[in-house]
Amino acid sequence: MKLKNILLTLALVMGSLTVFGQTSAPDNTQPYVIFDSTYALESTTSSSNTSADIYYDNTSGTAVKGIQFSFEYDNTVFDAPTVTYNNTSGPAGYLSTNVDETNGIVKVVWVYTGSSTTFDITAGNMFSVELPFDANYTNGSIMDLSFTNDLSPYYVTAAGTDATLGWSDNGGEFVEPAFDYTATILNSPSNPADSIDVILQKSSDGSTWADVVTATTDAQGEAVFSENIDQAFWQIRLKIASGLDASTALSTADANMIAQIAAGVQNAAGVQWYTANVNQATGITVSDSYLVFSRLAQGNTSYPSNPDVLFFTEAQYNTITNSNVDPSVSIPGQVEFLSPQINNTTAGNYYLLILGDANGTGLN
């Protein structure tokens, strides 16, 4: 219970740092308007607009009665934004905005309209900017939000005069919606494959794919991805490159077992239709056993003409393990693994089988 509380506290502290770390005044020399480091972009198919908060903070000790500033947005991506005041300083204020859609400039003026002489603008997410997608926008790079001098950045002093309002631009970057996925690479259901590099790929057309990031499986065989990819636009898949060296999984025991299967002493079952068929020719023969013996004897890191590893989806793997006949014709496996699209999923199991690893040691 005590440990749980500590973890909870730690989580809250970390959360606070994450939320407010980019929304505070950088110094106490003047009041600031602030752009956060990132803003979550809505999916292009969403009925909601992308929303970005503009923050205000002031640790200078000077009372501020109003502010004016301007900022730039990507007018190739968004239609005219709307700015709303979030009542962070109470309702006695009047907001004026002007959007120059041609140049992508928004001017903002907010002034306290009440009668209190002690009023001071309260820090917080003072404004929200709603950015509807342009009808022609599908996906692509988006210019960050940034402050501009199109409207002189001023704050209003208690004497009714202007003073310079600071900018704190922490990025203002739009990021696509989060895509979180865990790929588990297994030798068998109980034998995870460690240290496998798994590549997350995306494609706008299904033919040209780009690598997004590579994650390496841990001891549980898990490669964890947490990226910003709009699944409504991108096709997403996993890739594991060919050329894995599975030497550590091979031994003379494997070669002997293959020889016994070839001699009819043992019957091949399940995955052995692949692991014992090293040369991937029809049937399991002595030549398969030879290839293993030969590789071990010569200390080679690969077979002359065959890969070390074949990849399968979980469904394929289950079909294979339940098969009493050789399924390799219909399910040949992939030397370079390219998963089916994983859009709108959060996890998946994938299997690899090592040619020559007849006794199922696996890649660990």
Partner 1 sequence: MRYFKVIVLFLTLVTSTTWAQTTTVNVRSLKTHQNGCNQGCTGYSGNADSHTEFDNMVDLNSQGTVLHVDTTVDILSLQGPRGNTVWDPPRARNDRFAIIYTGWVKPNKTGNYSFRTRTDDSHEFMIKGLGYTNDIITKHYGWNTWNQRDNVYLDKDTWYEFEMRIQNYGGAYNAQFQYRIPNGSQFNQLGGTNGSSHPFGEWTTEDPNIEPITADGYIKGAEEVGIAGQVVYLKTQNKWQPGFSYTTQATTTTDSNGYYSFNTTLDYNDYDFTIDIAPEPDVLTVSDINWFQDRILTGPVSSKDYWRMDVNNTGSFSASDIYTMHQKRHGNTAFANYPNSAPTMWTTNSWQNPTIWPAVAADSDDKTTISGYGAWSLFDLANGNSTTFYVIRAGHKN
* Contact call for residues 204 and 169 (beta carbons, < 8 A): no
Q: Is 75 in the site for partner 1 (CB under 8 A)?
A: no
The interface region with partner 1, picked from 106-114, 267-275, 279-287, 316-324 by CB under 8 A, is 106-114
- Is residue 110 close enough to count as binding partner 1 by CB under 8 A? yes
| 3-state SS track over 137-172 | CCCCCCCCCEEECCCCCEEECCCCCEEECEEEECCC
Residue count, binding to partner 1 (CB under 8 A): 28
Task: Identify the helix (H) or strand (E) that includes residue 177.
Answer: none
In the three-class reduction of DSSP (H, G, I as helix; E, B as strand; rest coil), residue 156 is classed as strand
**C-beta separation of 239 from 337 below 8 A:** yes
* Minimum CB distance to partner 1, residue 66 (Å): 4
CB of 148 to partner 1, least distance (A): 13
Q: SS3 helix, strand, coil % of the chain, rounded to 5?
A: 15, 35, 50
Q: Where are the beta strands (DSSP E) in 17-92?
A: 32-35, 38-40, 50-57, 66-72, 82-85
Q: Does 71 bind partner 1 (CB under 8 A)?
A: no
Closer residue to partner 1 in complex, CB, 111/335: 111
Residues 217-256 that bind partner 1 (CB under 8 A): none
Q: Does 98 bind partner 1 (CB under 8 A)?
A: yes
DSSP-assigned beta bridge partners for residue 174 = 39
Report whether 145 contacts 73 (CB < 8 A).
yes
Binding mask 268-287 for partner 1 (x = CB under 8 A): --------------------
Residue 94, interface with partner 1 (CB under 8 A)? Answer: yes
Residue 112 engages partner 1 in binding (rule: CB under 8 A): yes
Contact letters for partner 1, residues 138-177 (x by CB under 8 A)? -------------xx-xxxxxxxxx---------------
- Considering the complex, state which of residue 68 and residue 275 has its C-beta at the smaller distance from partner 1: 68
- Measured CA to CA, the distance from residue 6 to residue 4 in angstroms comes to 5
The residue whose two tokens read 């704050």 is 155
- Binds partner 1 (CB under 8 A): choice among 30, 54, 57, 66: 66
In the complex, which residues of this chain contact partner 1 (CB under 8 A)? 65-68, 94, 96-98, 107, 109-115, 117, 151-152, 154-162
